[in-house]
Amino acid sequence: MPQRVVITGMGALTPLGLSVSDTWQAAVAGTSGIVPIERFDASALAVRFGGEVRGFDPSQYLDRRDVRRTDRFVQLAVAAADEAMRDAGLRKGDYDVDRAGVSCGTGIGGIDTLCDQHQILLERGPDRISPLFIPMMIANMAAAQVAIRYDMRGPNMTTVTACASSAHALGEAFRRIQYGEADVMLAGGAEAVLLPLCFAGFINMKALSMRNDDPAGASRPFDVDRDGFVMGEGAGMLVFEERERALARGAHIYAEVVGYGMTADAYHIVEPSPDGDGAARAMRAALRDANLPPESVGYINAHATSTPKGDTGEAQAVRQVFGAHAKNLAVSSTKSMTGHLLGAAGAVEAILTTLALREGVLPPTINLHHLDPEVDLDCVPNEARRQPVDVALTNSFGFGGQNVTLALRRADA
């Protein structure tokens, strides 16, 4: 019999705030976290805004030595993990270390370190490259550092599937507990890509919004005037536990994870399948895994990034899966407020979806002034809505056509 899996703790650092509470309150208020870039001089770039995590001080979580020895994406992951563990009321000694694990996704990993060390190579030569360059840069270091911090010696993995990375990490953590391989999993993702090189790459792909004169209005999923996504950074971590264990220790349960579906478009390296087939199959797979009918779903936190093809393809997939029930669904994109956190997006959006279930409040899609007629869904425009929901899905789709859907159920449903 598969084990039941619940969420008992959450942590987040996002363009909306340095905690889950701050992020949720800003999302419910319909606040945009998109601002002109402050981390570096962006004046030479065609796009000069993004979703920065502002006010983050890694020395609050790591000593000075470890700050120097870790990339920003690892620092964000550690900070989010700390909040999640505090929220869950877990400390070292509260779990069997051999049955506690970490699953962390990132789309790009330590590219800040890579850029910095490459500049040193060019300016000062190979002898000046840091001996810690490789362990600071490689993508698995967030999962490794979090495991070391909490002495979690069980399953440990890193998923790198572009914008689906942390959703895959959550799904795989869910499986480890469901199959009896772990009791506790600290799972999520982190990304720190607000760098000139990353901006230049996405700009030259013509993937980013160009609204330099209106950063707060630039991310506009489902709107007919959308012109590309807004790049962001951040981290989200969740504590998953086997349900009976969580109940026995008196843990607060936010929601239950009930389904996980993943598919491939097998179509194109950056474009989604135009008929939404891969996304539709991922949603169907999650519902099958959860043993739930489509009619049980009340809300979808959409992947919708504010790109012309992606948003309409996902809307088409929703209509394929839900048929007539699609008209009864609320489908919003919180990327309208956070921007696209790439590999961290799935975890942060799972947190927001979990809180939507717990609070009975659906976060809005802001900047939605003229709904694309090809979307034709209830996209919760511009203002949060009080609406109790028992079951919700959250979608994450990555470059290369890698799709993930997670199904969550309200704790007392």
**CB-CB contact of 129 with 117 (8 Å):** yes
**Per-residue pLDDT at 166:** 98
Q: What CATH number corresponds to the domain at position 349?
A: 3.40.47.10
**Per-residue pLDDT at 86:** 98
Q: Which single residue is written with the structure tokens 């939605």?
A: 368
Q: With a cut of 90, say whether residue 133 has pLDDT above it.
A: yes
Q: With a cut of 90, say whether residue 413 has pLDDT above it.
A: no
pLDDT (tens digit, 9 = 90+) per residue, 141-173?
999 999 999 999 999 999 999 999 999 999 999
Q: Within this chain, do residues 106 and 244 fall inside the same structural domain, yes or no?
A: yes
Rounded-to-integer distance, Cα 129 and Cα 133, Å: 7
**In the Cβ-directed half-sphere of 354, how many Cα atoms lie within 13 Å?**
30
Active site residue: 104, 168, 198, 340, which one? 340
For 120, the token pair is: 């040193």
Structure confidence at residue 274 as a pLDDT band (50, 70, 90): confident
Q: Within this chain, do residues 240 and 266 fall inside the same structural domain, yes or no?
A: no
Q: What is the domain count for the chain?
A: 2
Average pLDDT over residues 4-21: 98
**Which of 359, 329, 360, 333 lies closest to 348 in space, CA to CA?**
333
Q: Within this chain, do residues 200 and 303 fall inside the same structural domain, yes or no?
A: no
Write phi, then psi, for 352 (nearest 5 degrees). Answer: -65, -35
Strands annotated E in 203-362: 234-242, 255-264, 297-301, 330-332, 361-362
What kind and span of H or E run contains 48?
none
**CB-CB contact of 154 with 181 (8 Å):** yes
Pick from 222, 248, 274: which residue ends a domain? 248
Active site residue: 104, 168, 198, 303, which one? 303
pLDDT (tens digit, 9 = 90+) per residue, 383-396?
999 999 999 999 99
**Per-residue pLDDT at 188:** 98
**Per-residue pLDDT at 131:** 97
**Per-residue pLDDT at 1:** 79
Q: With a cut of 90, say whether residue 68 has pLDDT above it.
A: yes
**Per-residue pLDDT at 212:** 98
Evaluated on CA atoms 336, 338, 340, 346, the torsion sign reads negative
Question: Residue 136 falls within a domain, yes or no?
Answer: yes
Question: Residue 90 falls within a domain, yes or no?
Answer: yes
Share of the chain above pLDDT 70, in %: 100
Pick from 203, 219, 248: which residue ends a domain? 248
Q: Within this chain, do residues 273 and 229 fall inside the same structural domain, yes or no?
A: no
pLDDT (tens digit, 9 = 90+) per residue, 113-129?
999 999 999 999 999 99
Q: Within this chain, do residues 240 and 309 fall inside the same structural domain, yes or no?
A: no
For 90, the token pair is: 């877990």
Task: Give catalytic status of residue 303 as yes or no.
Answer: yes
What's the mean per-residue pLDDT of the chain? 97
pLDDT (tens digit, 9 = 90+) per residue, 57-66?
999 999 999 9
**In the Cβ-directed half-sphere of 348, how many Cα atoms lie within 13 Å?**
38
Read out DSSP for 215-236?
Answer: GGGT--TTBTT---B-BB-EEE
Active site residue: 104, 163, 198, 379, which one? 163
Q: With a cut of 90, say whether residue 78 has pLDDT above it.
A: yes
Question: Residue 211 falls within a domain, yes or no?
Answer: yes
For 17, the token pair is: 């705030």
Question: Residue 267 falls within a domain, yes or no?
Answer: yes
Average pLDDT over residues 350-356: 98
Q: With a cut of 90, say whether residue 6 has pLDDT above it.
A: yes
Pick from 212, 227, 248: which residue ends a domain? 248
Q: Within this chain, do residues 224 and 293 fall inside the same structural domain, yes or no?
A: no
Average pLDDT over residues 261-275: 94
Question: Residue 254 falls within a domain, yes or no?
Answer: no
Structure confidence at residue 277 as a pLDDT band (50, 70, 90): very high
Average pLDDT over residues 19-45: 97
Average pLDDT over residues 97-118: 98
Q: Within this chain, do residues 71 and 149 fall inside the same structural domain, yes or no?
A: yes
Rounded-to-integer distance, Cα 319 and Cα 375, Å: 9
Question: Residue 253 falls within a domain, yes or no?
Answer: no
**Per-residue pLDDT at 88:** 98
Question: Residue 59 falls within a domain, yes or no?
Answer: yes
Say if strands 385-386 and 361-362 run parallel, antiparallel, or are unpaired. Answer: antiparallel
Question: Residue 343 falls within a domain, yes or no?
Answer: yes
Domain that holds residue 14: 5-248
Rounded to 10°, the helix 141-150/72-88 angle is 40
